[in-house]
Structure 1
Amino acid sequence: MARHLDLGRKGETLAKTHLENAGYEILDENWTHGKLEVDLIAYKNKVIIFTEVKTRTGNRFGEPEDFVDNRKQKLLAEAADEYIYLMNHQGEVRFDIISVLFDHQNNYILKHIEDAFWPTTM
């Protein structure tokens, strides 16, 4: 498997553990609808949280969360719309970003950005 995919999976595992330790229930991992994908879908306090996980080994070109651009936000919103419809969820939703930044010694900093954005398509 490609190194960047291994790194991404490692970051998603750390993000999932972080959410579970913070009291979130994980509803789905790598949920797909067509070509759309949501890394983690969690639930807490009657809110469904759609979470994008970004993992990097350096921040020379920006922080991991900087790579969740408007295009990615729109795609996440489209996937969220479908998920909400399928689950018949009538409550609140939220979009979070979890960034995981590794250094050369395999240490990492995990940053959970709650309510990171609100897509204009919803």
Structure 2
Amino acid sequence: MAQHLDLGRRGESLAKAHLENTGYEIMDENWTHGRLEVDLIAYKNKVIIFTEVKTRTGNWFGEPEDFVDARKQKLLAEAAEEYIYLMNHQGEVRFDIISVLFDRDNNYILKHIEDAFWPTAM
């Protein structure tokens, strides 16, 4: 397996554990609709949370969360719209980012950014 894919899966596993440990219910992992994908879809306090997980081994080019650009936000919004429709969800939604930054010794910093953005597509 490619090293960057393994790193991404590790980050997603840590993000999932973090959400579960802080009271979120995981509804879906790596949910896809066509070419669209949402890393984690969680539920807490009647809110569906669409979560993008970004994992990096360094921050020389920016923090992991900096890589959730406007294009990625638009794609997440499109996927969220489909998920909301399929689930017939009438309540609130939120878009979070969880960034996982590993150092050379395999230690990591996990940052959960709640309500990180609101895509203009919705």
Q: How many residues align?
A: 122
The gaps in structure 2 that reach 5 residues or longer are: none
For 2:55, the equivalent position in structure 1 comes to: 55
Deviations 1:46-89 (A, max 9, x none): 00000000000000000000000000000000000000000000
Percent sequence identity over aligned pairs: 89
Equivalent residue letter for 1:58: G
What TM-score do the two structures reach when normalised by structure 2? Answer: 1.00
Question: Which residue identity is paired with 1:50?
Answer: F
Matched, 1:82 2:85: no
TM-score, normalization by structure 1: 1.00
Q: After TM superposition, what 4+ stretches of structure 1 lie above 3 angstroms from structure 2?
A: none
Equivalence for 2:11: 11
Tell me the amino acid that sits aligned with residue 62 of structure 2. G
Q: Which 5+ residue runs of structure 1 have no aligned equivalent? A: none
In structure 2, the residue corresponding to 1:81 is in which secondary structure? Answer: helix
For the residues of structure 1 that align with 2:80 and 2:55, how far apart are their CA atoms?
21
The 1-side partners of 2:108 and 2:8 are apart by 13
Aligned residue identity for 2:28? D
Structure 2 partner of 1:69: 69
